[in-house]
Amino acid sequence: MLKHLLFLVLLPSLLLAQTGGSATYQVLQLPVSSRMAVLNNPIAISSSDLNFGIYNPSLLNPNMNDGLALNFVDYFSDINMVSFAYAFPFRDAGTVGVSLQSLSLGQFTHTNEHAEELGSFKANEQLLTAGFGKQLYENWSIGGAIKFLLSDLESYQSFGIATDLGATFFNAESQFSASVLAQNIGRQITSYNGENEALPFEVKIGLSKKLEHLPFRFFIGYNHLETWDLTYNYNPTLTTDPVTGEDLINTVSFGQKLFRHFTTSAELNIGKYLQLRMGYNAQRRHELTANSFLGMVGFSWGVGFKMSHFYINYGRATYHLAGAPNYFSVGTNLSKFYKRQ
């Protein structure tokens, strides 16, 4: 197990780092379910929620067998995403989770160089994921997933393949878990115009802890272990003071660079049928706020209900003052309706 963990920790030094905006197949970086969006894609939750097992295959466990998950995301304008996931046991070896995800980027107006309208076209991306998780020892589990990507942008198509590798430690007595996850190790097989682009490779670590005497769980994540400086350089490093005319050097402190890696979130159970959630994304807060009004950019909130054999979740994550995506999820376990032979 230590060899697997060491490999995942050292993997960033072997591969070229990529951050948001510098890689293709952005569908790989978008939260799928409402619970994951609010909690900032936590990777260390040991539960029966199948969406977590699809995102981190080392979380796939027997409690997810026969689990079914349906998700819908209403992004800005006419951009939306739908996904379907199902899990089943693979003999006695472990748990398999499969997912189909479709991102529609909406309809675009097709014009020529003279701005004359020639019609319209659509753009979309499809993602097929198959993952496998296995418990090695009492407190350890590992998992891996393979992803097939198909992107269709007007008359340009691209096909790619990627792999995820994860490891999780979970202590049932203390309700503490920790995970490490390497995502999107792969490449384009066919590119849009003959020039291959990088995939959004990322290594992250995370932990979660449920309080002993309260129905409250908190999560902490450290993202982009492979890249130290996540600062988006939209401002020049050297500017001139409009009053004195002196040169000013724009710098980002060590603390600001460190803080951008962290996400925090929490979940509160109210009885057996209601959950309240809230999250905070430091990088989103730093990069997407307007200086004139910060608002709730970087924050997310959500609620979950249990109705009979169904789990219904809603979440909202504020990316910008212009608006926030809405996430809707429904999950159930088919074993509640029939017994596997």
pTM: 0.85
Residue 95's pLDDT is what? 96
Is 70 exceeded by the pLDDT of residue 174? yes
Say which residue, 271 or 238, is predicted with more confidence.
Answer: 271
- Mean pLDDT throughout 106-134? 88
Burial bucket for residue 88 (CB in 10 Å: 0-12, 13-18, 19+): middle
Q: What confidence score (pLDDT) does residue 190 get?
A: 92
What rounded mean pLDDT belongs to the chain? 86
Model confidence band, residue 7 (pLDDT cutoffs 50, 70, 90): very low
Using one digit for the tens of pLDDT, what is the confidence trace for 13-72?
333 334 545 678 888 988 999 999 999 999 998 888 999 999 999 999 999 999 999 999
Angle, vertex CA 280, rays to CA 147 and CA 260, nearest 5: 75
pLDDT tens-place string over residues 178-216: 999 999 999 999 988 888 889 999 999 999 999 988 999
Convert the pLDDT of each residue in 208-219 to its tens digit: 999 988 999 999
Alpha-carbon distances of 174 from 120, 211, 216, rounded to whole Å: 56, 8, 13
**Amino acid at position 131, single letter:** G
Tokens for 111, please give them. Answer: 């014009």
**Cβ atoms < 10 Å from Cβ of 15:** 13
Beta strands in the chain (DSSP E): 67-74, 80-90, 94-111, 117-135, 140-153, 156-171, 176-190, 202-210, 216-222, 238-240, 247-249, 262-270, 274-281, 299-307, 310-317, 326-333
For the chain, the straight-line distance linking the first and the last C-alpha, in angstroms and rounded, comes to: 34
Q: Which residue, 128, 138, 146, 211, is CA-closest to 168?
A: 138
**CA neighbours closer than 13 Å in the CB half-sphere of residue 248:** 11
